[in-house]
Structure 1
Amino acid sequence: MFDTHGRIKCGTISVPDFQGSLGDWTGLLGYECVETGKVPIELANGWGALKTLGARTALLAPPGGGGAAFVRLVEQPAVLAYLPMRTYGWVGYELSVRDVPSLHDRLHGSPIRVLTPPECAPGSAGWTPIEATGRAGEVLFFNGANDTLRDLEFPRAAADVDRITVAMLAAADRAAAVRFHVDALGFSEGGTFRLPYPVINAAFGLPPETESEATVISVGRMPVCEIDQFPPGTTERKQLLGYLPPGNAMVSLAVRSLNAVRAPLIAPPETMGGPLYAGRRTACTRGAAGELIELIEAGGGTL
């Protein structure tokens, strides 16, 4: 069963150029559009973003995904002060891909701007992830990993660009953010590690060898998110009043029971239809790093 506790169901992106971003995701990345429409009042209210009411939205899925995981585009005005990788909250989605060098070649010169070239991973026959930004300022990590890493399982991509496997969270207080995901949402704290992150170092003008510390949040051997301690100079993400955050706006996670969530909900749960919700209850909360988290009840008991 795909919809297990902690599974990433969707990554939502705020897009000022709706048609352009839709064309990038369906053309360059090969996703399929499975639903279009306008944001209903139940979701706008639940997100705490009432000005998104009636905004155009598209739900996208990797081909052959079977309705398991999605990317959602929501149209809203641009935030001119927004700089990718420089603010707290959700800063990137990692997607599994079939062939990293081939995707790199395909994206060359496109509106999805590649920030780092693929390189042979040390001690492995695989490739390092390539990091990119989309036209809406969304940060994307394309990873060809298909085995076990740090005791976590990363699935083999079934499509050229497959589903989101990990969400990256920038925190001012990494320990507090970890506690929220463990205590409030019922996930587990995985390992903590240090490594140079090219995209972080480039964003802040740091030497390439500068290391960042990160903690993995998981459920069993399944990764959920990576919580990174971001450098000094990171700021709160500015957003337009009544709208979603710009860029990587929100992550939707499956949970066993909304009743067991130990955090305030923005609005009471609503039962929603369509491919993403499938008649299940959903509600949103905000984490310790200010991140917007949509929870979708998958059933199966308490957390």
Structure 2
Amino acid sequence: MTGQRTHGAILCGTVNAPDFPAARTDYTRELGFEVVEEGRISPDLARSWGAPAQVGAPYALLAPPGGGSGGFLRLVGGTAVPAFRPLSSYGWAAFEIAVEDGPALHARLDTAAFRVLGPPKPVPGFTAFIPFQVAGRSGEVLYLNTVLEERTAGLDLPKAKAPVDSMFIAVLAAEDRARTVAFHVAALGFEEGESFTIPYSVINGSFGLPEDHLTTITMTKVGRTPASEIDQYPQAALDRPRSPGELPPGNALVTFAIRSLDAVRAPFIEPPAVREGPLYRGARVATLIGPSSERIELVEC
């Protein structure tokens, strides 16, 4: 596993996966991820997430071939939530992942495993990357981005070092974008980056809005390293339904490196605890819930 652990770096994106064996196969077969750790969720880890019902659930920690340039993805077995629909509720909406050749990946992807929401195409006003969007069988959304320019809009974007590389931005659906940005700045010690107002095709499609409907998004960052894209979701968005005692369905949890848990200005679900394994590396870890119902796991670096 490569990549420096610095304040604000994304270490992992976690997906709550009702059909865990099939999801594991999708990520390893279709996207080429490698399993670097697997087992069962311990009682103390489940409690730290506010998900006591997932004690004993299977998990798989995944990395791109060769470790990639950044963080992991993690699948955790969960319960299906029939009312959940991707890109319709507050919380973590998508994980942005760097890929070498988006059009080639789009052409070969098994759409039974990853349903294409939007084909590869430029985003109006942006020249640094070409994204396309897919939804996995667990309702999670991935933005698969071919990075063309590594420096843009005050941020450094990673060019993929594998056909499918690491997650580099966490996308958050906010009920109140300004309040959520302020929380990530004041409570976590991240920085507010640039804001953009764009026709956001996958959001417009999800809510049946006109193609030219505009959404305002704000980046958070540390220095030139991106952290989250915080999107102002339409008034029709909902609180995300979830199975009692479990993580939210779909894009469930994002893990960031943090300089000091003692400096965090928000309550944790459970007190910090030292955790082992490739993701945690013997560091103190704790989880909190942000103003848009986002679960944020923090690992001291």
TM-score (norm 2): 0.96
1:185 correspondence with 2:188: yes
Deviations along 1:102-140, whole A, 9 cap, x unmatched?
A: 110111533201111113567988762001100000001
Who is 2:280 aligned against? 277
1:207 correspondence with 2:210: yes
Give the whole-Å Cα distance in 2 for the aligned partners of 1:150 and 1:183.
22
Who is 1:261 aligned against? 264
| Alignment match of 1:175 (pick from 171, 175, 178) | 178
8 Å CA contact 2:96, 2:167 repeated in 1: yes
Distance 1:242 1:150, change over 3 A: same
* Structure 2 spans left out of the alignment, 5+ residues: none
8 Å CA contact 1:116, 1:132 repeated in 2: yes
Deviation, 1:13, is 0.2
Distance 1:158 1:291, change over 3 A: same
Deviation, 1:197, is 1.0
Q: Which amino acid aligns with 1:230?
A: Y
Moved more, 28-37 or 140-149: 140-149
8 Å CA contact 1:61, 1:67 repeated in 2: no
Q: Which amino acid aligns with 1:18?
A: F
8 Å CA contact 1:108, 1:114 repeated in 2: no
Deviations along 1:251-281, whole A, 9 cap, x unmatched?
A: 0000011111010000011111110001111
Root-mean-square deviation (CA, aligned residues, Å) is: 1.6
> Which aligned runs of 4 or more in structure 1 are off by greater than 4 angstroms?
120-127
| Alignment match of 2:103 (pick from 82, 90, 101) | 101
Give the whole-Å Cα distance in 1 for the aligned partners of 2:112 and 2:163.
17
Give the whole-Å Cα distance in 2 for the aligned partners of 1:222 and 1:208.
31
Give the whole-Å Cα distance in 1 for the aligned partners of 2:77 and 2:124.
40
Who is 2:243 aligned against? 240
1:53 correspondence with 2:65: no
Deviations along 1:43-93, whole A, 9 cap, x unmatched?
A: 111001111100000000011126951000000110110010000000000
| Alignment match of 1:153 (pick from 138, 156, 172) | 156
Equivalenced residues, count:
298
Trace 1:12-91 onto structure 2 (pairs within 5 A): 12-65=14-67, 68-91=70-93
Give the whole-Å Cα distance in 1 for the aligned partners of 2:89 and 2:208.
15
Q: Which amino acid aligns with 1:154?
A: L
Give the whole-Å Cα distance in 2 for the aligned partners of 1:183 and 1:256.
14
8 Å CA contact 1:258, 1:297 repeated in 2: yes
8 Å CA contact 2:128, 2:150 repeated in 1: no
Q: Which amino acid aligns with 1:41?
A: P
Give the whole-Å Cα distance in 2 for the aligned partners of 1:261 and 1:169.
20
Distance 1:266 1:137, change over 3 A: same
TM-score (norm 1): 0.95
Q: Which amino acid aligns with 1:171?
A: A
Give the whole-Å Cα distance in 2 for the aligned partners of 1:87 and 1:135.
17
Give the whole-Å Cα distance in 2 for the aligned partners of 1:179 and 1:67.
29
Give the whole-Å Cα distance in 2 for the aligned partners of 1:278 and 1:252.
13
Distance 1:262 1:200, change over 3 A: same
Distance 1:52 1:196, change over 3 A: same
Who is 1:118 aligned against? 120
Give the 3-state SS of the residue equivalent to 2:46 in structure 1: helix
Give the 3-state SS of the residue equivalent to 2:185 in structure 1: helix
| Alignment match of 1:137 (pick from 139, 145, 153) | 139
Give the whole-Å Cα distance in 2 for the aligned partners of 1:67 and 1:53.
31
